[in-house]
Structure 1
Amino acid sequence: MLSGRSTCSWPYRCWFLIDFIYYTGDLPPHNVWNQSREQQLYSLKTINELLGKTFPNKTFYSAVGNHEAAPCNLFPTPNVRSDNISWLYEVLADNWIKLGLPEDTRETIERGGFYTTVIRPGLRLISLNMNYCSWENFWLFINSTDPLDQLQWMIQWLQYAEDHEEKVHIIGHVPPKQCLASFSWNFNKIVNRYENIITGQFYAHTHNDEFVINYDEIDQQRPISMAYITPSLTTFSNLNPGYRVYRIDGNYPGSSYWVLDHRTVIMNLTATNIYNRTIFIDEYDARDAYDMENLFPNDWHNLIERLKNNIDGPLMGLVYQYYTKSYANGNQCDHSCRRGLLCDFITSRSEDPHACDSIPN
C-alpha cells in the first residue's frame, strides 16, 4: 500500500511521488510447511533489500504476516520459553529500521513484532502483530485473549494520541474480523472508543480486494471507521497480482488523514504470459468506480445500502470483479455468493451472529 498522488500512471515511473509505504506482511512464499528458519530469514533479507533499492529514500511501515514464522502461523506466546520466536523478531527489527523506522521502535518489535511511531507531526502509526489473535496460531490455545498485552499497549498509545491531538493509522496482517472472538470484540470496543482519532485501518491476509466497516456498538447503523483489506501481490489463488495507492488527506495542520481515494493497480497475468513481459494496468479508482462522493465511513455505508437494494445488479457484479482483482467477472458470483460478500463487508467482529441480519435473503 502506497500513500501518494494520483497524477501519474503507475507503477515504477511514479515512485518518486510516493510519500510512504505500508507493507502488511507475508514476504516469504506460501509453501507453508515446507519452510525452515533459514529459508524464511533469507526471503526476508532478500525482499527487504530489494524494496530498499527499488524505493530509495522512502520509509516502509511494515507488519508481521503469518507466513513469516517457521512453522507457518505458529507464533509462541511469551510464556513459552522453550520455543520462542526471537530469531524472527530480531531480524525484522534490523530490516525494518534499515527501511526507515526509528531506532526507538526496536524494543517492542523484538518483544513481539509490534510498534508505534510518528509518520509526520499529527499522524501516528500503530503496527500490530495480529498473529496473536489468529485462529491459525495454535499457541493461542494457551491464552487467546491478549497474550502479548498488545491491546492494553494500543490503548495507552491511542490515549496518548488523543491527548496530543494526533490522528492514528493502524496496520496489521490478519483483519480483526478473522481474529478469535475475544480479541476481535475487544478490538472493536477500542475502535469505538477512539473513533475520532482512528482515521484508517489497513490489513491484508485474504489476498482479495475487500473493505470492512466498523459500526457503533450501540447504534449499529452508524458507521465509525474503515478497514481496508488490500489486494495481494501473490497470485495465490486464482488471482491477478495487485497493489494499491492511497490518496490521504494532509499534510497540513489539523489534517484528518482520512483516505480520500484509492487506486488499485493489477498485473494482467493473461497478457503478461501472452506478450512475455510484465503488464500492469490501472484497475479502478474507488470514487469513480462506485460513484462515491468521498471515502468516509458513511460513504461506504451508503454504498452498502445501494448494493443491498440491488444485490443481483451490475454494481455488485463489479464489486466482485474487483474483489478478485479482475480475475473473475460478476457472472461467476451467484446470489448466495454476493450476499456472503456483502456480509463480510459489514462484519467487523468475528462470530457476530447478527452482523448480517439487515442483508436481504
Structure 2
Amino acid sequence: MRATGVSSSPVRHSSPAMEPSALRSLLLLCLLSDCGRSLAALGSFWHVTDIHWDPTYQVTNNPGRVCESTGTRPAPNAGKFGHYNCDSPWDLINSSVKAMKNILPEPDFILWTGDDTPHVPNEQLGEEAVLSIIGNLTQLLRLAFPKTKVYAALGNHDYHPKSQMPPGQSTMYERMAHLWQTWLEPESRRTFMQGGYYTELLLNKTGYRVLVLNTNLYYDQNKLTENIADPAGQFEWMDNILTTAAKKNEKVYIVGHIPPGFFEKKRNKPWFRSHFNRRYLELVQKHHAVIYGQFFGHHHTDSFRMFYDSKGKPISTVFITPGITPWKTTLPGVENGANNPGIRIFDYDPSTLLVKDMVTYYLNLTYSNMAWERWEKEYRLSEAFLVPDASPSSMHTVLEQLAGTGCDLQKYYEFNSVSYDLFKCDGKCRVDHICAIREVDFERYEQCLVKEGAATTHLALIPFLISIALSVHQAAL
C-alpha cells in the first residue's frame, strides 16, 4: 500500500503517517506534534493561498511536455506531486486538502486568498476555464470541510483577462458570487458583485468582523484602475466600515490577496501603485486600534510586513502565507524563486482576536516524489523565534532579531521559501528582506535600503576587525 503521509483518524495539530512501520509513524508524529502544548483555550483557523492548479500537468518522460505553466522551461524528472517549474497538479492539491483535514479537521474557519489558475497566457484560458478551475477548488474545500465557514478572496489570476479586475459590476464577479453563495451573506454577495469585496461578522459573532478586500484593484498591472482614485469605492467603504467598527467596539481581521509594500525577493518591486499603497497605509494607521490581523498571499513565500505609528510604535502586522504551488517565478532578477508547498494554521485568542501563534506545514516536493508523501511541521513561530505571541510588538521583536548579528536571519530566509532555498542569505539579501518587512511606505523603503546597506557593510567588517584584534593581541604576547 502506498504511503500518503496523512492519517484517516483526525488528530488536532498532528498528522501521523500511514506507513506500516510503527517507527515511521512515530517519527512523523514527532515532526508534526507541538510538544504537548495546550491549545484548548485557543481558536485555530487555516490559511491557504496561491493554489494555481494546472490541469495540463502530466508525468511524462518528455521534460518539455509536463505542463503548460512551465513556459519554455523544461521540467525533467517530474513526479506525481509536481515540479518546481510547474504549477500544482491535482494530486498535490488533493494531498494538501487531505493534510489540512487530518492535521486540523475542525478549524473555526478557513481563509482562502486566491490565485487559483495556472501561470499561462490569457489565450490559453478564458472566462469559462477560470470559473471552472475556481469551481472545482471550491467543491474540493466544501466536501472536505462541509461545516466550516470559508472566507474567500480573489487573486489577480482569478479573472479573465488575468489581473484586469474591473472597478465595478461584472459578469465574472456575479458568477463567482454564485459559486460561493453558501459562504456569502446576502449583503456580502451584493458588494462582491459590485467590486469583488465584502465584510461580515466573523463567524456571525457580535464584536468580531472580517473585511475581505479585492486588492487586485490596486495592482500596478491592472490597466483598468490606473487613473482612478478609489476603484470600486473600496477605500471609502473600508474607511466607513472600520470607523463603524470602532464605534461598535468591534475587532477586525483584514484579508486579501496582493499585500501592500515590496517583494522581498526583488529589490524595489512593489505590487500596488504608489498612491494606492499610500492610501492603504494611511487607513491602517488611522484604524489600527480595531485591526487585529492582516492576512495575504500572492508572494508564494513566507514573510510578514510591519506597520508603525508616527512615533515608531508597532501597530499592525501583515502575515504573508506561502503558496501551495511550487512554481518558480519568472520575474526577472529573482534567483531561486521556487518554494515547497505550504499550508498554515493560525492560533488566536477567541476573546480578543489576538493572533497568538502560527504553524506552517509543508511538503518536501523532491522527497515526496522520490519516496513517500509526507506533510510535516516546518516551524511554529513562538518556538522558532522565542516570542510569546504574534502581536505587532512580538513581530517587531522578530524583525529586530532578523536585523541583528545572530542566526535568525538565515533561519527566516530558509522558511521564506518553505525550506527550498537553503543557500546563505548574504548582505544584499539581508537588506532586501529587512527593508521589505520594516517599511511598507515607498519613500521610507528607499531610505531603509541606504541605512541597512550601510549597516550590512559594518556588520560584514566585524569578523575582519575581530581577526585583526586577535592577531595584534597574539603578537603582543
1:266 aligns with 2:356: no
The reply to whether residue 227 of structure 1 matches residue 310 of structure 2 is no
Distance in structure 1 (CA, Å) of the matches to 2:289 and 2:258: 23
Asked if the contact 1:318/1:329 (under 8 Å) is kept, the reply is: no
TM-score, normalising length: structure 2: 0.68
Letter paired with 1:322: F
User: What's the offset of the Cα at 1:18?
Assistant: 0.7
Q: State percent identity of aligned pairs.
A: 31
Local SS of the residue matching 1:13 = helix
Q: Does 1:335 align with 2:407?
A: no
- Mapped to 2, the partners of 1:263 and 1:129 lie a distance apart of 26
User: In 2 relative to 1, CA 295–164 (structure 1 residues): closer, same or farther, beyond 3 Å?
Assistant: same
Deviation digits for residues 178-199 of structure 1 (CA, Å, limit 9, x no counterpart) = 3111111111111111111100
1:296/1:12 Cα in 2 relative to 1: closer, same or farther (>3 Å)?
same
**Among 296, 315, 318, the residue aligned to 2:391:** 296
**Counterparts of 1:134 and 1:106, CA distance in 2:** 23
**Which consecutive unaligned segments of at least 5 residues does structure 1 have?**
79-84
CA distance 1:14–1:56, change in 2 (3 Å): farther
Matched, 1:281 2:281: no
The one-letter code of the counterpart of 2:208 is L
Q: What is the aligned partner in structure 2 of residue 81 from structure 1?
A: none
Superposition map of 1:113-152 within 5 A: 113-119=196-202, 120-143=205-228, 145-152=229-236
Aligned residues: 339
| Distance in 2 between residues matched to 1:7 and 1:89, nearest whole Å | 35
Select 1:24's aligned residue among 113, 124, 127. 113
Q: Quote the Cα distance in structure 2 between the aligned partners of 1:339 and 1:286.
A: 22
Q: Does residue 1:168 correspond to 2:252, yes or no? A: yes
Q: Which runs of 5+ in 2 are unaligned?
A: 1-10, 16-98, 262-270, 329-337, 457-477
Question: Given the two structures, how large is their TM-score scaled by the length of structure 1?
Answer: 0.89
Matched, 1:316 2:409: yes
* 2:337 counterpart of 1:246: no
Q: 1:105-160 CA distances to partner (integer Å, 9 max, x unpaired)?
A: 111010010000001222100011001100011222332x3121101001111111
1:65 counterpart residue number: 155
CA drift at 1:330: 4.5
2:179 equivalent to 1:95? yes
2:12–2:105 CA contact under 8 A, matched in 1: no
- Code of the residue aligned with 2:431 in structure 1: it is R
Query: Is 1:345 aligned with 2:440?
Result: no
Contact 1:347-1:356 within 8 A present in 2 as well: no
In structure 2, give the amino acid aligned to 1:233.
I
Whether the aligned pair in 2 keeps the contact of 1:40 and 1:70 (CA below 8 Å) is yes
Give distance in 2, aligned partners of 1:156 and 1:110: 19
**Stretches (4+) displaced over 4 A:** 355-358
Matching residue of 1:201: 294
Alignment partners' CA distance in 2, 1:342 and 1:97: 41
Higher mean C-alpha deviation, range 298-307 or range 316-325: 298-307
* Structure 1 counterpart SS, 2:288: coil
Task: Give the secondary-structure state (helix, strand or coil) at the position aligned to 1:273.
Answer: helix
Give per-residue Cα distances to partners, 1:44-64, cap 9 Å, x unaligned: 111111110011110100111
Aligned partners of 1:354 and 1:256: how far apart in 2?
A: 35
On the 8 A contact 2:220/2:273 being kept in 1, the answer is: yes
Are the counterparts in 1 of residues 12 and 103 from structure 2 also a CA contact under 8 Å?
A: no
Distance 1:135 1:244 in 2: 28
Residue of structure 2 equivalent to 1:326:
419
